[in-house]
């Protein structure tokens, strides 16, 4: 099984560290191939590792870059401009590493430096067959076995599962625990067996994330069960950071689509000085609106990002409402931007090839509404809106 740990540690481009923009250019070079072949963008992920960006969210104490929230958002946008799949792999990995750093406890923290320096990708195993997409519910349970624990989980999707060097798996605390009493378990690839389950990976978009289903079996030391309940991990780190970074990546994809439409309009303006394109203005406004909400959500989450213990004072229904709003807006407004770009670019935009193609952008962005389904978030927000003070 090829792993990121096996990838070359140097990039094929500059032979040195890259800025996010330079890394994004490498991602763009590999994006079409990953999309066409639904294959893992190994060279792009290696470039991120080489640039140090793979562990941007990890504190410097653990050999990461220790980026601020705003830095992470900017990186997500930049990478999304190059390749949606690679950007999302980056974002999902940031979230898993942040969960480990912020909630991992002594034994797991001891393992972090090797994860970071080795370029190990950490994948999440949260969804489960028979449960649907409910993050906060598990059927699988942790079963003690001496100093070890074992768990089995039927996951309908595990992004970059076959390429990951480690996993963060949710399960019920014990076989007797209710479905909502969950823990997160850290498991390295050699402690985990993945058996492909379900259809072959051949989706509409985000094809490079390689996210098919697996039956997962992990046997790990009991100390790999994170000491904090998963409910707190989800609320303090996993959910907010996911919504912020996913939205950043989607914005990056939409920004590239906008840029392509802009180049077409500029060309038309050169031949017709009176040419105006209101759809470009509307797309620009949608990007600005999404960016503004992203900034506001990051600002509201900042105290908890600084210190997870601030969850009590700064977390709760109003933050959940805002983050859900962000995810729903980000996942739909970016499609609107790419759709406007398609209309502006016409057949050249509809083509899968060429400098103003926005086909991959649109296909990738349609995944956004399914990642923690918007209907579920809107249903939650319908309830939370009863609390909203306006």
Partner 1 sequence: MQDLVKEIVRGCMDSSSLDLQPDTDLWSAGITSMQVVRVMIAIEEEFEIELPEEALTRETFSSVQAITQAVRDLTGAPCVTETAA
Per CB under 8 A, the segment of 30-38, 104-112, 175-183, 241-249 that binds partner 1 is: 175-183
Backbone torsions φ then ψ of 181, nearest 5 degrees: -90, 85
141 SS3 class: strand
Q: Which residue has the tokens 């600084």?
A: 306
* Sequence-ordered strand ranges (E) for 213-319: 214-221
CB contact at 8 A, 361 and 198: no
184 SS3 class: strand
Q: Which of residues 318-337 bind partner 1 (CB under 8 A)?
A: 318, 320
> Which one, 193 or 385, has the nearer CB to partner 1?
385
**Distance in angstroms (rounded) separating the CA atoms of residues 177 and 52:** 40
Options 22, 78, 188, 235; binder of partner 1; rule CB under 8 A: 235
Decide: is 227 part of the binding site for partner 1 (CB under 8 A).
no
| Distance of closest approach, residue 170 Cβ to partner 1, in angstroms | 15
Per CB under 8 A, the segment of 68-76, 89-97, 195-203, 225-233 that binds partner 1 is: 225-233
Options 282, 292, 378, 387; binder of partner 1; rule CB under 8 A: 387
> Which one, 231 or 354, has the nearer CB to partner 1?
231
Options 316, 352, 375, 378; binder of partner 1; rule CB under 8 A: 316
Decide: is 311 part of the binding site for partner 1 (CB under 8 A).
yes
Share in percent of the chain as helix, strand, coil (round to 5): 60, 10, 30
Decide: is 132 part of the binding site for partner 1 (CB under 8 A).
no
| Distance of closest approach, residue 351 Cβ to partner 1, in angstroms | 45
> Which one, 107 or 376, has the nearer CB to partner 1?
376
Binding mask 177-216 for partner 1 (x = CB under 8 A): -x-xx-----------------------------------
Q: Write the CA distances from 240 to 13, 24, 205, 280, 323, integer angstroms.
A: 34, 24, 24, 30, 6
What residues form DSSP beta bridges with 258?
none
> Which one, 333 or 381, has the nearer CB to partner 1?
381
Per CB under 8 A, the segment of 31-39, 78-86, 212-220, 305-313 that binds partner 1 is: 305-313
Query: Which distant-in-sequence residues (6+ apart) come within 8 Å of 256 by Cβ?
Result: 80, 81, 82, 361
Cβ neighbourhood burial of 323 (10 Å; 0-12, 13-18, 19+): buried
Per CB under 8 A, the segment of 47-55, 209-217, 353-361, 381-389 that binds partner 1 is: 381-389
Strand order in the sheet with 192-196: 143-145, 148-155, 214-221, 192-196
CB contact at 8 A, 207 and 34: yes
Decide: is 380 part of the binding site for partner 1 (CB under 8 A).
yes
Q: Which residues bind partner 1 (CB under 8 A)?
A: 178, 180-181, 229, 231-232, 235, 311-318, 320, 380, 383-384, 386-387, 389
């Amino acid at each position: 099984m090829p792993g990121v740990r096996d990838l070359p540690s140097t990039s094929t481009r500059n032979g040195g560290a890259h800025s996010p923009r330079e890394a994004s250019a490498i991602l763009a070079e590999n994006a079409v191939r990953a999309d066409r072949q639904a294959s893992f963008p190994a060279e792009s992920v290696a470039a991120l590792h080489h640039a140090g960006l793979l562990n941007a969210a990890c504190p410097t104490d653990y050999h990461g870059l220790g980026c601020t929230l705003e830095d992470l958002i900017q990186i997500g946008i930049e990478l999304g401009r190059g390749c949606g799949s690679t950007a999302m792999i980056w974002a999902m990995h940031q979230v898993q590493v942040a969960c480990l750093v912020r909630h991992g406890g002594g034994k797991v923290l001891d393992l972090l430096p090797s994860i970071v320096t080795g370029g190990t990708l950490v994948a999440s195993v949260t969804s489960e067959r028979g449960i649907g997409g409910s993050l906060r519910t598990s059927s699988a349970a942790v079963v003690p076995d001496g100093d070890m624990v074992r768990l089995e989980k039927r996951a309908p999707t595990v992004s970059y599962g076959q390429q990951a060097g480690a996993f963060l798996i949710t399960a019920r605390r014990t076989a007797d625990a209710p479905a909502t009493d969950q823990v997160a378990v850290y498991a390295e690839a050699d402690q985990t067996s993945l058996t492909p389950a379900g259809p072959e990976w051949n989706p509409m978009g985000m094809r490079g994330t390689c996210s098919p289903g697996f039956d997962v079996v992990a046997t790990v030391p009991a100390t790999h069960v994170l000491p904090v309940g998963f409910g707190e991990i989800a609320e303090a780190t996993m959910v907010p950071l996911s919504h912020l970074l996913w939205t950043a990546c989607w914005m990056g994809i939409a920004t590239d689509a906008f840029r392509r439409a802009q180049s077409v309009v500029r060309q038309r303006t050169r031949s017709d000085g009176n040419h105006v394109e209101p759809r470009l203005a509307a797309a620009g406004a949608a990007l600005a609106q999404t960016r503004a909400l992203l900034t506001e959500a990051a600002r509201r989450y900042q105290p908890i990002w600084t210190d997870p213990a601030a969850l009590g004072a700064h977390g709760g229904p109003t933050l959940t409402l805002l983050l859900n709003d962000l995810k729903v807006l980000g996942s739909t407004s970016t499609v609107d931007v790419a759709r406007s770009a398609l209309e502006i670019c016409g057949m050249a935009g509809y083509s899968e090839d060429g400098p103003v193609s926005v086909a991959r952008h649109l296909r990738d962005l349609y995944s956004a509404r399914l990642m923690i389904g918007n209907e579920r978030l809107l249903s939650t927000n319908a309830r939370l809106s009863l609390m909203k003070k306006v």
